[in-house]
Amino acid sequence: MRYLWLCFVFFVAVQLNVLAASGSLKKLNTTTFNYSCLQDTTKRKALGEEDSLRQDSLSRIKIKTIYNKLSSNTEKETENLSMFPAISLQQYLKGNYAGLYIQEPSGEPGSMQNMFIRGTAMPLLNKKDLYAAQPLVVLDGIPLIMEHPFAYDIQQYDFNRIGPATNLLAGIDMNNIASVEVLKDLAGTVAYGPRGVNGVIVLTSKSPDNVRRISFNSYIGMVQKPTVNTINGKYENEFRQRFYDIYTTNGRYSDDEEYPVYLSDSLNNVYSGKSNWTDLYYKNALIYGINLGLSGGTDRANFRFSLGNTKSEGVADQTGLDRYSAMFNINMRPVQWLLFSAMINANRINRDRNRSLRDRFAQLNYFPDLSAPLAPNKDYYASYLSEYDKGFDDNKTNAIQGYARLVGTFGKLKLSSAFNVDYNEGYRDIFYAKGLLQGNSYASNYYGFNQRLMMDNKASYNYKINEDHDFNFTLGQSMIWDMYKYNNAYAYKGANDYIKINLLDSEPIRNGQPNPDYLTPKAFPRELTYRFLDKTEDNLLTFSGKVDYAFQNKYFLSATLRLDGSSNAQPTSRWFYSPVLSAAWNIKNEFLRDNKSIDDVILRASVGRMGRTHVYDNYAQGPQYTASVGYTGNLTVPGYNAFGVLTRSYAFGWVGYGVPWAYTDQVNVGADVSMLKNRLRLSLDVYSKTDKNQLIAIPSYAEYGYKQAIESGLSVNNTGVDLTVSALVINRNKFSWNSALNFNHNQNQLKALPRGLDQIVIGNRLLKVGEAVDQYWLLENEGIYTADSQIPVVNGQPLKYNGTVLKAGDPRWKDQNGDNVIDEKDKVLKGNMMPGLSGGFDNGFKYGNWSLNTSLYFNLGRKLINQEMANRFDFVNREGNSEVNSVKEITFWEKRGDYSKYPLYNPWSTVIPYRVDQDLFLENASFLKLRSVAVGYELGNLLKRKNIKINKFFVYGSVNNVFTVTPYTGQDPELVGYDGLDTGYGQPIPRTYTLGVKMEL
């Protein structure tokens, strides 16, 4: 069906182009019809068509200007952004907008990246919280839907969500986008309601045009493999030997100690010989992108159609992503007062995922024998890859967005109605051969979809009292229907490696009788076949009213009141009122009309409250039941030699009654200044936002079998400053220099916890009122005890760690409370997972037809835990166990980090001296990156002199991810997860070289 849609779109585009070329459609001599502010028919006739068009244009500019005066939005055109060979929206936007912070935990194409606008509204304790903290992305008025975290309920590990786990924002082709706008305060985000409570990123696609245009944008490039230092078993033995020399009597492991077999034989060339595995893991890879756009028509009907393909191969582990995209926009005006517009954006994404052992074992839900890691020898590593190649891991994602919109203009009254659709579906089919799993084959099939339907109706009326008072009244009503669903099944021990899917008995009737084995697995044992399916829905109904007032183009005031009703809210608090008030003062028009050096000075402020919907429908139901039968090591199994029964949701947690709406209170004060004929621009915002009544899982009710209670009362405050400065530094003759700096300073504080608690401990995190929610909870390290005599003794009792007497070779952890015991009471809150200061610095130079652009990106004040180093030194506790911390990837044989900075503790000590929850592994992760350098030349002017009809012909070359300046000793300070841990699993963000062309006919 989706291919029929693409054929239909292509057919309509061709027909419209033919009509445009033949001139058969009648011209109205108007400009584009997107969001135009039309005058009434009588006035249009009186002014004449050219004057009417001028009035339309001025009206659009005026409305946009007023909107900007009230909001702290930041808007950019995407011409330079599209030159960066990114594969996801997050990569395009990184470092370009004040207040927008983006995490890129891995350089693997198509993997998830995280966005935060003005900090995080909640402590990020797991990936479910991460989903709830993301901003809303809007494409041409369509609020895009993201994956739902409910699938994590059946996962033991949250490394990746089940299914393709593809970044859905990788479906945005920046060549089709005209502008990107980041809305940060409630004055801008109120129009999007609770969905936009974390901030909004507005994407506006390129508009159809009544002039026939053909555009062609393409690039090709190379991804450069990194230079790495490899090690082998001999090196690893020498590394461990240092500990034996200090902490064993003869410098050797004892006969009864289980020393790893793969390291015990120094003559074994598989592990102690050549470490040349990198030839099969890292590679120079190809990237390319192509986009062809076609627009045309007349003033009564015009269109834009584009096709694109982007391929981005990863630098490591044979990863990659291949995207096919098509976009179609159309405007039609059957009569003068009615405008119909529609858009379809369709994408197909094929993704080659990594083959890391950790992700594979997490998918399998069990761990095989881990006594020996993958060998660093190229030949043996190749034999492993050949076993992998006997199976498959297919990941496919289809996504389509579209709208149909009617706008009627009746003098000063404007009515609009739109129907929006966003739908995406993902498939993941897996087969792992027996050679990978100690004789057990594995098959898995996943299908899931996310669907959002939206009806949006608005009526606006513009009313003027002479030339001084300008009112605009807007009434709105919208309804959003969200649905998320997945089917997931997996099975073990297939008949053989030739049957790679889980065949089912497909005959419902056999020999005239109902078949008792209908849908029974045939290729895999029934008792080792597991099926999961789930669906959740979320509906949001909204009524809103807004009044905008402008007085003499000096004072601006806007008031909005929303009433939102959510199906995820409990019946006793189904509705929430959201008031927002914003104002602006044009100081230029008030006091500085005659000042030639100052072009604009605007002060603005906004204050308001916005509701925050609950992510799960579970919260709307109060106490509830679920069906599950499980066993140790597996969260949910719908049947394993047992019968499923309805039970309380002990694993999910207790949900009571009286759960209110969560909401955010925000205050924003800002100023916009433009000087020297707009050559110098400055935008400054100071903000405070407090998210209240949020839900959090508190460890509780264990006596009733519950793991936790989910209660409201969590409150987090974020305060900070956004600053954007841009300047045309030099503009002489043929040479010009543009420069732009943006940064955000943000800090957060926990204001309240449920039940009036002062602090709670959740996992390895301490949440304490008055402290930041993104801090680490760590023991403070002060060195090493080199002798037993150095152990402090109080009243005849030596210092202990959780009841274990500390000895020589143990860490010197600070006894914070002086009770002569090291325990959790001695942990302190240190460092921040989020940067205190982040931003970008761009410079553009132009000489004649030549151009040079550079882009810098920086994070300051952020720290991370180098867990990779903690795991490397904690080899005793990680060796050979059948659990996730014992997994050693092929990158285990890569030398990373600075070993010399860590003391040589006794790794056999029962206090686990290389535990990760100490500041020994806390590092400064501040960095400055030169993200890109691009050189281009405009050939269009030269071609025009030769009478070649071409509007633009721009060729360019770029180098991206050029260098990083950082004190961090690990792989890359960007490769860190939401929890601030550098596990070492993130693939490197590669350096790329590209050559491209942008052409318009």
> How confident is the model over 600-613, as pLDDT tens digits?
999 999 999 999 99
- The full DSSP string for 179-214 is EEEEE-SHHHHGGGGGGGTT-EEEEEEPPPBSS-EE
**DSSP labels, 33-73:** -TT--PPPHHHHHHH-HHHHHHHHHHHHHHHHHHHHHHS--
Instruction: Give the C-alpha separation, 931 to 915, whole Å.
Output: 35
And the tokens for 603?
């002060």
User: What tokens does 596 get?
Assistant: 């030639």
DSSP assignments along 232-268, one per residue: -HHHHHHHHHHHHHHHSSSSS--TTS---HHHH-TT-
930 and 854 Cβ atoms separated by less than 8 Å: yes
| CB count in 10 Å sphere of residue 416 | 18
Encode 938-973 in three state secondary structure. ECHHHHHHCCCCCCEEEEEEEEEEEEEECCCCCCCC
Cα separation, 206 vs 219, in Å, equals 20
Pairing verdict, β 200-205 and 136-139: parallel
- Cα 66 off chain centre by: 31
Dist. CA 255–CA 791, nearest whole Å: 31
Q: Is 788 within the bounds of a domain?
A: yes
- Note whether 649 and 623 are within 8 A (CB): no
> Does some domain include residue 329?
no
Q: What is the dihedral of CA 971, 975, 977, 979, to 10 degrees?
A: 50
For residues 419 and 397, give the distance between their C-alpha atoms in angstroms, rounded to a whole number. Answer: 23
- How far apart are alpha carbons 602 and 554 in whole angstroms? 9
Position 811 in a domain: yes
Instruction: Tell which residue, 334, 302, 345, 342, has the closest CA to residue 213.
Output: 302
| Side-chain-side CA neighbours of residue 161 (13 Å) | 25
Note whether residue 813 is domain-resident. Answer: yes
Only one residue has tokens 């009648």, namely 26
SS3 835: coil
Least Cα distance to 140 among 368, 366, 421 occurs for 421
Report the mean per-residue pLDDT for the chain.
88
Does residue 797 form part of some domain? yes
| Per-position b or e across 143-162, b if 16+ CB within 10 A of its CB | bbbbbbbbbbbbbeeebbbb
The two three-digit tokens of residue 140, written as one number: 């041409």
Sign of the alpha-carbon torsion through 627, 630, 633, 634: negative
- Note whether residue 46 is domain-resident: no
Adjacent-strand bridge partners of 330: 303, 342
Q: Kindly state whether residue 812 falls inside one of the protein's structural domains.
A: yes
Share of the chain residues as helix, strand and coil, in percent rounded to the nearest 5? 20, 45, 35
Nearest 5°: the CA angle 250, 256, 261 is 95
**776 φ/ψ angles, rounded to the nearest 5 degrees:** -90, 150
Residues of the domain holding 788? 780-826
Q: Confirm if 716 and 690 have CB atoms less than 8 A apart.
A: yes
User: Which is nearest to 118 in space by CA: 578, 776, 745, 751?
Assistant: 745
477 three-class SS: strand
Give the contacts of 110 (CB within 8 A, at least 6 positions apart). 87, 88, 166, 167, 170, 312, 321, 349, 351
CB atoms within 10 A of CB 596: 8
Tokens of 979: 């929890």
- Tokens 């943000």 sit on residue: 746
Residues 6+ apart with CB under 8 A from 994: 85, 219, 220, 221, 222, 287, 957, 958, 960
Please indicate, yes or no, if residue 521 is contained in any of the structural domains: no
Pick out the chain residues at pLDDT < 50.
Answer: 1-63, 256, 632-633, 639-642
Q: pTM for the complete prediction?
A: 0.91
pLDDT digits (tens, 9 = 90+) for 96-145: 999 999 999 999 999 999 999 999 999 999 999 999 999 999 999 999 99
Phi, psi for residue 984 in degrees, rounded to 5: 85, 0
Rounded Cα distance, 893 and 274, in Å: 11
Question: Which pLDDT value is given to residue 707?
Answer: 87
Q: 697 vs 152, 441, 707, 764, CA distance in Å?
A: 15, 38, 9, 14
Please tell me the distance from the alpha carbon of residue 346 to that of residue 306, in angstroms, as a whole number. Answer: 11
Integer angstrom CA distances of residue 640 from 382, 629, 705: 37, 8, 22
CA neighbor of 586 nearest in space, from 605, 612, 604: 604
Q: How far apart are CA 761 and CA 525, in angstroms?
A: 43
Number of domains in the chain: 1
Q: What pLDDT, on the 0 to 100 scale, is given for residue 83?
A: 87
Tokens, residue 865: 């835990």
